[in-house]
Amino acid sequence: MSWFDWAVDVSKIAGGVGVAAGFLKGFSAWWTTGPGRRKHWTKAYRKIACGVQADYVDSLFGVPPFKLQGSDGRVRRIWVLGREGYLTTLTQLGTVISYSLTTSNPKFNPLVAFGSHDAHRAERMITLGVTSFAAAAPDAPWKDSISLFAGARRGYYCELHYAGNPGGYLYWMLGNSDVGTPPAYASPDFSDFRDEYNAHRHPAPDSHGDNGWSALSQKDHAAYARFRRTAVVNTITVSSDCNSAPDIGADVDTVRVLALAPTWRERFGSGTRVRTGRALAWVKRGGRRKKEPTPPSDDNGAQNTSTSAPPHE
C-alpha cells in the first residue's frame, strides 16, 4: 500500500469519526432539551451546594433570565426550566448561600435529598410534587418554625428544618409555593389554622423564636395535621445562612412576565386542525376552487341576479 492510499484511508476514518462525534453532540443537545430535560435538570441540581461559585451554576443551567440585586448586596438569580419548574439561587460576593428547586408541572417530579447533600446519607429522599409534608418530615420536634400566607391570588406555606451535623449545619426548607404545583394555600384546613397562628406568633418565625404553637387550639392542631398529610412539597430550599428567612423559591409575579414557547397542543390546536381540514379538502378537489352556488334562473332561462326591491307606496 502506497502512502497515498494510506492517507486516503486515514482521512476516511477521521471523517467517519467526525461525523459520529457531530451526531452524538447533536443527539445529546436534543436529548437534554427534549425528552431527557427533566432528568438532566435533576442531575444538574444535585451538583449544586452552598459555597459553590455562581459561575459554576451558570455552567450547569446557562445564563439566568432574572438577576435581582438586593439592598443588602445579595443577588437572587432565577432560571426558568421551560414549563417544568424554576431554579433559584441567592449569592453573596459571587458565592451561593442558598438555592431552591420548584416544580410547576405534574410531570416534573425530581427525587431530591432532604437533610444531607449525599443521597446515600440523606435523612430522607423526597419527590417534589408528590411527597406530602407529613411524609417528608413526620417528626414534629425537628420542625423549628413555619411561615405561611394566603391572599386573594397568592399564598404559600414553608417549613424550616435544621439537621445539625448530618445536614452539614444547613437549613433545609420544605415549601408549597403558588408558582409551583399543586398549590395548597386554598385548602380549607390551611385557612382553619392560618388566622390563629398568624395572630398569636411572636416574634416573627425564625430558627430560634416562639412560633405560636402554644396559642393554637386542639381543633387548629387537628386541621394543621390534616393539612400536612394532604399538602405536597413542591419547593425545596437549602441555605447556609443562620439568619435565613423562610424561602419558597421563585416569585410568581417575577417569572410570569416571561413569555414561554407554545406547547405542542397550543401550536397544533383546533385552529390548525381547521386549516389542515381546508387544505385536505382542496387537495381532494384537485387544487380547484370550491364551486360557488349557481343563482336560480327565471322562466326564460336567464339567471336572476337582481334583488327585488319592496314596492313603492
Highest-scoring range by mean pLDDT, 6-10, 108-112, 179-183: 108-112
Question: Average of pLDDT values for 286-297?
Answer: 58
Task: Provide the pLDDT for residue 84.
Answer: 92
**The dihedral formed by the CA atoms of 67, 68, 69 and 70, expressed in degrees to the nearest 10:** -150
Range ranked top by mean pLDDT from 10-24, 26-40, 48-62, 153-167: 48-62
Mean pLDDT to the nearest integer, 208-229: 71
Q: What is the pTM of this model?
A: 0.71
Please report, rounded to a whole number, the percentage of residues in the chain having pLDDT higher than 70: 60
Report the distance separating Cα 180 and Cα 184, nearest Å: 10
Is it the case that residue 223 has pLDDT exceeding 60? yes
| CA 207 – CA 169 distance, rounded (Å) | 13
- Cell numbers describing residue 141: 420536634
pLDDT for residue 116: 75
Of residues 298 and 218, more confidence is placed in 218
Mean pLDDT (the chain) is: 76
Residue 143 has pLDDT above 60, yes or no: no
Q: What local confidence, expressed as pLDDT, does residue 11 receive?
A: 74
For residue 202, what pLDDT is reported?
41
Task: Tell me the Ramachandran region of residue 153: left when phi exceeds 0, alpha when psi lies from -120 to 50, beta otherwise.
Answer: alpha
Give residue 51's region: left, alpha or beta (phi > 0; psi -120 to 50): left
pLDDT digits (tens, 9 = 90+) for 235-249: 999 998 866 667 788
Q: Lowest-confidence range among 135-144, 161-170, 172-181, 253-262?
A: 135-144
Q: Phi and psi (nearest 5°) for 29?
A: -65, -40
